[in-house]
Amino acid sequence: MKTLTKLGTAAALTLVAGTAHAADELSLQLKWVTQAQFAGYYVAADKGFYEEEDLDVTIKPGGPDIAPVQVLLGGGADVMVDWLPSALAARENGAPIVNIAQPFKSSGLMLTCLKEHGIESPEDFPGHTLGTWFFGNELPLYSWMSKLGYATDGSEGGVTIQKINFNVDPLLQKQVECATTMTYNEYWQVIDAGLTPEDLVVFKYEDEGISTLEDGLYTTEANLEDPEMVDKLTRFVRASMKGWKYAEENPDEAAEIVLENDATGAQTEVHQKRMMGEIAKLTSGSNGALDPADFERTVDVLLSAGADPVITENPGEAAWTHAITDEALQ
């Protein structure tokens, strides 16, 4: 990876200069594969923002077989990227994890429907099948249907909610009339498949009041009790937010940095630049500190879903802290 090579070169030069000091090591576990969704961290490494904070950061890509919380709890990472619903579920199940920063202010989740099925507004949902990802991702949709008064078991006057994989095949194959998509990813898979925006009707969860917080930074309670780790996490958050703001202002360059760090070669320039443009909209307005009102909204959505609950109670301030961002953002 270019990032690690740069850091390795800097370390070598330091040794040559006769200085025994080494940068503090810290590892970050991503929620998914290397892509513009995580551009801020790659930018912070590429631009030397971590190095300026005396940090040697290793960024670990995720994937379908990687559970970030397990990596974090197992000591394979010092901090992870996760969505608040899954983090709260893990916490309620005994994982002592805490949100230390929230680079994403807005949600990218939405429901994308094929217009040919006569769906123009939420009033048209009854009688249709709505596909969504599960593992906590389904809760906002269930909450929305509950607010609308629609049963979700396919009974008359209600809808059918169907579990789908993390792709848009069921929508394209018309197994469902609507499907969960992200503004920066799956929606564009539909477009790339040959459909046009005019063929679709989209309902953004932000607009419907059912959005939950995504892509926060989490560490363990034990790490927050260690002064040396708290210091490293503070410097990490400061540099990461600098990376995110640079990425917002320079989206094309940020996408190119992501591509340089994609060891798989699976990403394309067009897709990553498009994704970064959408991601910048989600990080805009965040200085890195979690907004308590956004936290409470997320909890309310999860508790009012009317489905099998991902959490059963509000964990309150035990699940998040401003201690890191208060110091990092001075």
Q: What is the pLDDT of residue 5?
A: 40
Q: Are residues 181 and 287 in the same domain?
A: no
Instruction: Determine the residue type at 235.
Output: R
SS3 208: helix
Q: Are residues 154 and 232 in the same domain?
A: no
Q: Are residues 178 and 94 in the same domain?
A: no
Q: What is the pLDDT of residue 308?
A: 66
Q: What is the pLDDT of residue 134?
A: 83
Q: Are residues 81 and 139 in the same domain?
A: no
Strand order in the sheet with 178-182: 160-163, 129-132, 178-182, 109-114, 200-204
Say how far residue 250 (Cα) sits from the centre of its chain.
20
Domain with 315, as residue range(s), is: 2-106+213-328
Let me know: does 30 contact 62? Beta carbons within 8 Å: yes
> Strand ranges (DSSP E) for 76-167?
79-82, 97-101, 109-114, 129-132, 160-163
Q: Are residues 138 and 274 in the same domain?
A: no
Q: Are residues 62 and 122 in the same domain?
A: no
Q: What is the CATH number of the domain that holds 114?
A: 3.40.190.10
Query: In a structure prediction context, what are the per-residue pLDDT tens digits for the chain, which is 330 residues long?
Result: 444 444 444 444 444 444 557 999 999 999 999 999 999 999 999 999 999 999 999 999 999 889 999 999 999 999 999 999 999 999 999 999 999 999 999 999 999 999 999 999 999 999 999 999 987 788 889 989 988 999 999 999 999 999 999 889 999 999 999 999 999 999 999 999 999 999 999 999 999 999 999 999 999 999 999 999 999 999 999 999 999 999 999 999 999 999 999 999 999 999 999 999 999 999 999 999 999 999 999 999 989 877 666 789 999 999 999 999 999 998
Q: What is the pLDDT of residue 135?
A: 73
Q: What is the pLDDT of residue 48?
A: 98
Q: Are residues 240 and 157 in the same domain?
A: no
The four Cα atoms 48, 225, 93, 135 give a dihedral, to 10 degrees, of -10
* Number of structural domains found in the chain: 2
Residue 323's contacts (CB-CB under 8 Å, 6 or more residues apart) are 100, 224, 230
Q: What is the pLDDT of residue 13?
A: 43
